[in-house]
Amino acid sequence: MPVAKLLCYVAVMALPPLLILQNIHLTLGTAPLLAGAELAVSPGERLCLVGRNGSGKSTLLKIAAGMIKPDGGSVFVQPGATVRYLPQEPDLSGFPNVLAYVEDGMGPGDDLYRARYLLEQLGMTGEEDTAHLSGGESRRAALARVLAPSPDILLLDEPTNHLDLPAIAWLESELASLRSAMVLISHDRRLLESLSRSIVWLDRGVSRRLERGFSHFEAWRDETLEQEERDRHKLGRKLAMEEDWLRYGVTARRKRNVKRLAGLHSLREQRRQKNGPTGGARLTSADADLSGKLVAVAEDVSLSFGDRPIISHLTTRILRGDRVGIIGANGAGKTTLLSLLTGETQPDSGEIRVGSSLQMVTLDQRRASLDPTKTLADTLTGNHGETVEVNGQSRHVIGYMKDFLFGPEQARTPVGVLSGGERGRVTLAVALAKPSNLLVLDEPTNDLDLETLELLQELLADYPGTVMLVSHDRDFLDRVCTSVINAEGDGKWVEYAGGYSDMLNQRGKPATLTAVEQQSSGRKQQAAATSAPKKLSFRDKHALETLPKRMDQLTGEVAKQRRILDDPKLYIRDRPGFERATQTLQAAEAELATSEERWLELELLREKVEAG
């Protein structure tokens, strides 16, 4: 690092924090949400705040913004520092137009021209009536409001929600150019990888911090959880020894042993606290019979709304097993194209043929189908007892809830009090319990935490049917889609093989990538070119030979434990057995996933070595 840059970096790090949250406690209802969480933001810092849905990320951001008062702890904001908070659901009521709403968030010395400039960049005039805005327009107006003052600290809660791909690319570039400190909550992995320099992980009420960007988060998280598991195992062994002593030794010399008995109770309390929800979700879908080979065929299809062409002379065919992403700017007609391809809407001209034996399930990401007054258990069972039908078999609702990261104590929780991300998981659970061979997903990633998002990607990769989806999540499109259909303008749609990045390459427009993405891509290509080994090590060869057998064993163990958990009465009849089977299943699935990933890496490595 050049000396001047190093001195500048040291100077920034030496500056006192603008915002400090210390030992924050907050209880909602009877359950503690935050139990000692901390957050410190220095000038120019780029933090991403990560954690599962319902872990309190948005709440902690609201405490930092002064909107919620904690039960305990301290909040300090440097005198004179300006803080702007972007909520997930901005409220524009009471303002005659968008420009008035944006200018209302500016201070006496702020440049009013910047408000108009930002609105123009976001595709708005400022004269729009706030009472008739779409979700995307409300989000753009809220972004202009928080960015216009150029504040010292930006607190951004899901800034890419409801934005289309061009707007997301613009926002990423704009945020990268700002000098403001930032705290980001987002499910958009690419945005976090591009912008973050530090990570604050909120887990079971407490916060952990890593001074590295988001690309290092998963490895750090997994290492932390593995260490916790080792500590939990040691604690369990010590607890067993102490309980043995308790059974046979507590009757003698009672007074002298009171301290030891108190220590045992302390161990038990530690065990309860450590046994938080650290496992992963297990998403499964109910599979219907296979559809015909042709799922949907469009022949020279056109559709217009008045004089405006939405789809012009589109010809495409979707085969069984395809994962097709539909992308484009807001208002381009993505949802309309989706309804055309599924036969729900008829074109003005051309022909749409929908395949035979289709059983379609649509993911309702607006969650309009969820009754907020119903409990979580009643929503999943449809008010039919305590079991859920999945793949033609009954499962106890508590076990099915655990697959989606809900604890047994949440069974009687009304859906209306769950967080946005938790309601997203409920929607997934309801949809995936239905038999289907065609999944239609409209913005499926909204509000999902990163772990649930990863598992949804795995589910779609393993799903035996066909998937059609609309999404603005670039990383999700890259990981899931076999092809994308992009809106090119004036009703023209073009299909490209692969995901979002593949589409950019095929269009020959790499300039649409942000500068940060181009630099990251260049670094990855250079690393790949220089790191290929000339031969496999003995350890790698041994792993290649032994891993397939171990994966077969783990697959058998997973199937065995799932058969045990398929018993709908197991939870009531033998709760310890239910817990053991659940833990064994989670451990086997985790080891199987790790083994499969390692085997795949080694296979790719072997191919590279053999290719020279």
127 and 48 fall within a common domain: yes
Q: Which pLDDT does position 86 carry in this prediction?
A: 95
Whether residue 575 lies inside any domain: the answer is yes
Q: How far apart are CA 118 and CA 56, in angstroms?
A: 31
pLDDT of residue 174: 93
pLDDT of residue 275: 41
pLDDT, position 89: 85
The pLDDT-based confidence of 283 (bands split at 50, 70, 90) is low
> Which residue is it, tokens 């913005």?
443
Is it the case that residue 531 has pLDDT exceeding 60?
no
- 1 inside domain: no
Provide the domain count of the chain. Answer: 4
Is the Cα torsion angle 310, 313, 319, 321 positive or negative in sign?
Answer: negative
- 49 and 124 assigned to the same domain: yes
The pLDDT, as a whole number, for residue 591 is: 84
Specify the DSSP class assigned to residue 287: B
Residue 234 scores a pLDDT above 80: no
Q: Which has the higher per-residue pLDDT, 419 or 379? A: 379
- The residue segments making up the domain with residue 113 are 16-218
Question: Does residue 37 form part of some domain?
Answer: yes
Region 285-313 average pLDDT: 80
Q: Which of 240, 274, 308 is the last residue of a domain?
A: 274
Contact 413, 377 (CB under 8 A): no
Q: In terms of domains, do 267 and 409 share one?
A: no
Mean pLDDT throughout 247-270? Answer: 44
Give the model's pLDDT for residue 303: 92
| Residue found by looking up tokens 């998963």 in the block | 218
Q: How confident is the model at residue 210 (pLDDT cuts 50, 70, 90)?
A: very high
Confidence class of residue 530 from pLDDT cuts 50, 70 and 90?
A: very low
Distances in Å between the Cα of 361 and the Cα atoms of 326, 342, 365, 378, 479 are: 17, 11, 12, 20, 21
Determine the pLDDT at residue 516.
Answer: 36
- 44 and 169 together in one domain: yes
Say which CATH number the domain at 587 has.
1.10.287.380
pLDDT tens digit sequence for 65-97: 999 999 999 999 999 999 999 998 899 988 999
The pLDDT score that the predictor gives to residue 511 is 34
| 175 and 257 housed in the same domain | no
Q: If you average pLDDT over residues 401-423, what whole number do you get?
A: 82
Inter-residue contact 119 to 103 (CB < 8 Å): no
Segment 264-271 shows an average pLDDT of 45
Q: Residue 108: pLDDT above 70?
A: yes
Looking at the domain assignment, is residue 86 inside a domain?
A: yes
Strand partners, 198: 47
Q: Indicate if 298 and 150 belong to the same structural domain.
A: no
Could you write out the DSSP letters of every residue in 109-120?
TS-HHHHHHHHH
Burial class (CB in 10 A: 0-12, 13-18, 19+), 489: exposed
Residue 110 placed within a domain = yes
- What's the rounded Cα separation, in Å, for the pair 468 and 319? 11
Domain-located, residue 403? yes
Q: In angstroms, how far is the first alpha carbon of the chain from the final one?
A: 35
Q: What is the CA radius of gyration of the chain?
A: 27
- What Å distances lie between residue 559 and 91, 139, 517, 552, 563, CA to CA? 49, 45, 41, 11, 6
CATH number (domain holding residue 116): 3.40.50.300
173 three-class SS: helix
pTM: 0.66
Encode pLDDT of 532-587 as tens digits. 455 677 677 778 888 888 888 888 888 888 788 777 677 678 878 877 887 888 78
Three-state DSSP at 378 gives: helix
Q: Are 421 and 570 found together in one domain?
A: no
**188-202, 254-268, 339-353: lowest mean pLDDT where?**
254-268
User: Is residue 433 assigned to a domain?
Assistant: yes
Which range has the top average pLDDT, 196-205, 519-528, 539-548?
196-205
Same-domain pairing of 99 and 121: yes
Return d(Cα 329, Cα 166) in angstroms, integer: 7
Same domain? 352 vs 495: yes
267 pLDDT more than 50: no
Together in a domain, 45 and 151? yes
Q: Could you tell me the CA-to-CA distances from 41 to 153, 192, 297, 542 in Å, in that order? A: 8, 17, 53, 47
Least confident among 87-96, 497-506, 526-535: 526-535
Mean pLDDT computed over every residue of the chain: 80
Residue 83 has a pLDDT of 94
Rounded to an integer, the average pLDDT of 356-385 is 80
**Are 426 and 298 members of one domain?**
yes
Query: Is pLDDT of 386 > 80?
Result: yes
Q: Are residues 308 and 202 in the same domain?
A: no
* CB 170 within 8 Å of CB 183: no
Q: Is residue 81 part of a domain?
A: yes
When pLDDT is averaged across residues 272-278 and rounded to a whole number, the result is 44
Position 282 pLDDT exceeds 80 = no
